[in-house]
Structure 1
């Protein structure tokens, strides 16, 4: 029975996506036929609640017939069916931060909108491009996701029921600018004065609803490419691939702010490769560079995506560990130290890695 339920839900999603993608009015008879079929099939294969919702909607539209439904109206009408079919797609952002962090190589997008149907649709479209998409429907969740997940792109709807997109844009603007995070506003209000206001307040782009998905994907892709270049040139140490000292200052300030505001503990670990000069003197600087590069690669493979490694200078590094106690930090550092000693060039360097941990309270 389960395979039939899965097949039905997939067919529903396919039909919804077709309607929403075209952004064209849908005929009354098409919606009625869709709901009639859904009401009978879903109850037959054990999806009683879906059948009940479909039956109620069928009765409703029979009493209040439309000639056509536009995309927004149709999304509103079918919202309960959308929630059922996409219940595994839209997860609370707090759970995503714990269970679904993006990999080091994939771009991430934070999408803020209180329209569940458009969130679901855009999330699915963007994930087809290989991007990680995190969603938030209010300011509280959006702020938490922004600071915790450090997205590569921020997309906000201007008009939401309980939030003002312009206020959110203003709130995020300084942090987004410092981190070179492109901010894109979306809205059905495509008036010139609305677009100008968005740009004046710091938006990097404006996309009008209904969205042309082909154009939308290309534009977002370009913003993500530029962001990656900015990050590589300005925030990343060219030799090792760790973040540079300049970016450390900003991250430290942000961690302090989080602690003051939310009492979130964090650790800053200083890591020094002892006797590193002997490697350069004995085997040359190219070998020394290789040791540094392999050390950074090794550390990155043993930390969380929310942790950040910085090259402080020479063979000195700083590891920032958000939401981490001193005991947890010591465990992490010991694990990195012990495993790095087994690297292939252990015959070349038997270095001791001195670590010091300061927990700022």
Structure 2
């Protein structure tokens, strides 16, 4: 979708507002202020500077707190002026700078946008995805905070005013962890006052971006900050939160030990461990409690390892050890010592106390780094599947359970169901079993025995269906199965923004506009897969 489509969305919103007002005698001044405020934010971002300037001049004469009534019939001239401005707007395509920047970013660049302006987030989402980045959307502060901690983005853009809290309050909840992870955090807002900028910087933001965004400036800003992020990442080998090595350092060390083993025949073992039920810890006791658990595990790992061993945070709540010269038997003895000490820790959060366990998979280096990691990962999956709080050693003679990914299509259109089923059924991944399921409506899906806690799910959910609307299905899913291993992408053909906004508000992880290309669906599924596998 280029800027012309977003301009049309904005035209439609303007017409809808005036159409609604025609049925009323008057509107509050505060309502007109909010209308112009939204219009200004979006118009400048999508290349309609003259309309943005007009809105600014009108806002200067209004107040968001004033409840005085304005007769609707007096707005006719106001409406005509907006129409004249729109008629004189040069309809723009995406700028040349955007064309030059296609795929300039990569899929390791993950941007979380916390903003309830759907036109704005839709435009920025498509802009960044064209450049190769992954984009996560949250329409309120609570959901944005949850996605920050669970999906680990490296960019966060936070609107100054959200439906449930201010951008500053979101900052207070994520700033410490963002600094530890070297995450680029920016507040974005129309009210770019000196006080707001100072407050943003004092509370942990790296930048304050003024709405409406200038697209070309925004692109240059992203490239600048992304290069800085990569340089910092290359120079830092320690995970800021836990004190163990980070994922980049793990990749470096495991390849080093593999080369050393090839030259000298010295073996080494890989231990992969995953904290059990970590999401429940965050849900029950809060993200600060989850961070305490991660920090404590890092502390125990560093104190228990030998000088020649290496400890890492592999990602999220998953950690790893590289033990040079160790057999799997010695690795089991070592990790049992770590487990005994960590399981004995009693965490305190307010009036509550709780203990935590972890599951382990172990493999020895034999046939390359990729096979080593895959083997340890399969053993870890078996440990989790068979009850958690245990260790499983990979044995080639005893095939272990491979991770299972279920792709679920819920759509009443038989042609779309069939096309998606056939396309997705042809997709395969090493060491992961993929199964595709198709349902004609919400009840048949929800009433099926579809869920297993140890398996992974991506649900492609149609927005309009008989018997039960897609939004009702989504609400049930998020209420009953709001788990890290279940992601939902809403498919919608409705032209209005209500369904997309409602879906994101209810917790949808992505949305897809109909009609779509099958290759685009596969690309979206692949992106979602990287979040859970």
Using the size of structure 1 for normalisation, the TM-score is 0.51
Gaps of 5+ in 1: 1-6, 28-58, 75-103, 243-247, 277-287, 303-316, 341-361
Task: Give the Cα–Cα distance (whole angstroms) in 2 for the partners of residues 250 and 268 of structure 1.
Answer: 5
Q: Structure with the greater relative contact order (CA < 8 A, sep ≥ 6): 1 or 2?
A: 1
Q: Tell whether the 8 Å contact from 1:25 to 1:69 is kept in structure 2 after alignment.
A: no
Q: 1:181 to 1:325 in 2, by over 3 A?
A: farther
Q: How does 1:80-119 map to 2 (within 5 A)?
A: 105-119=107-121
Shift of 1:155: 0.7
Deviation (angstroms), 1:261: 2.8
Query: Alpha carbons of 1:328 and 1:249: their partners in 2 closer, same or farther (altered >3 Å)?
Result: closer
| Corresponding position: 1:296 with 2:320 | no
Matched, 1:268 2:358: yes
CA positional deviation for 1:25: 2.7
Name the structure 2 match of 1:172: 174
* Cα-to-partner distance string for 1:132-183 (whole Å, 9 max, x where unaligned): 1111111221122122211121110112343211111111111211211111
Tell whether the 8 Å contact from 2:254 to 2:369 is kept in structure 1 after alignment: yes
Count of equivalent residues: 235
Distance 1:114 1:61, change over 3 A: same
Take 2:180 and 2:382, find their aligned partners in 1: how far apart are those partners? 18
Correspondent of 2:50 among 21, 25, 30: 25
> Partners of 2:202 and 2:139 in 1: how far apart?
24
- Deviation of 1:214 after TM superposition, in Å, equals 1.5
What is the SS of the residue equivalent to 2:186?
strand
Counterpart CA distance in 2 for 1:169 and 1:22 is 29
| Alignment partners' CA distance in 2, 1:178 and 1:319 | 28
Conserved? CA contact 2:158–2:167, under 8 Å: yes
Q: 2:253 aligns with which of 207, 229, 239?
A: 239
Q: Is the contact made by 1:199 and 1:205 (CA closer than 8 Å) also made in structure 2?
A: yes
Q: Deviations over 1:67-88 (max 9, x none)?
A: 13799xx9xxxxxxxxxxxxxx
Distance 2:401 2:274 in 1: 27
Query: What's the C-alpha RMSD, in Å, of the aligned pairs?
Result: 5.0
Q: Is the 8 A contact 1:112 1:135 kept in 2?
A: yes
Q: 1:181-260 maps to which residues of 2 (within 5 A)?
A: 181-232=183-234, 233-234=236-237, 235-236=246-247, 237=250, 238-240=252-254, 257-258=281-282, 260=284
Aligned match of 2:401 in 332, 335, 342?
Answer: 335
Report if aligned partners of 2:273, 2:359 keep a CA contact under 8 Å in 1: no
Shift of residue 222, structure 1, vs aligned partner: 3.1
Q: Is the 8 A contact 2:273 2:358 kept in 1?
A: no
Q: In 2, Cα distance between the equivalents of 1:141 and 1:168?
A: 10
Instruction: Call closer, same or farther: CA 1:212–1:70 in 2, change over 3 Å.
Output: farther
1:26, 1:70 within 8 Å by CA — same for their partners in 2?
no
Q: Which structure 2 residue ranges, 5 or more long, are not aligned?
A: 11-41, 53-72, 87-105, 238-245, 257-271, 291-316, 318-355, 395-399, 404-429, 432-533
Where 1:186 maps in the other structure, the secondary structure is: strand
Q: State the Cα deviation string for residues 42-67 of structure 1 (Å, max 9, x = none).
A: xxxxxxxxxxxxxxxxx998686241
| CA distance 1:269–1:241, change in 2 (3 Å) | farther
SS in 1 for 2:131: coil
Specify the SS of the correspondent of 1:110. Answer: strand
Structure 1 residue matching 2:212: 3-state secondary structure: coil
> Deviation of residue 320 (structure 1)?
12
Query: How many angstroms apart in 2 are the aligned matches of 1:250 and 1:272?
Result: 12
Q: Deviations 1:237-291 (Å, cap 9, x if unpaired)?
A: 122379xxxxx999899768426437999973323335x5xxxxxxxxxxx7x73
Q: What SS does the aligned partner of 2:359 have?
A: strand
Give the number of the structure whose residues are more often helix, by fraction. Answer: 1
TM-score after normalising by structure 2: 0.36
What is aligned with 1:67?
81
| Structure 1 residues 252 and 194: alpha-carbon distance in aligned structure 2, compared to 1, 3 A threshold | farther
Whole-Å separation in 1 of the counterparts to 2:280 and 2:6: 44
Structure 2 matches for 1:274-293, cutoff 5 A? 274=364, 291-292=368-369
Q: Secondary structure at the match of 1:142?
A: helix
Residues 14, 63 of structure 1: CA spacing in aligned structure 2 closer, same or farther, 3 A cutoff?
closer
Contact 2:189 2:209 in 1 (8 A): yes
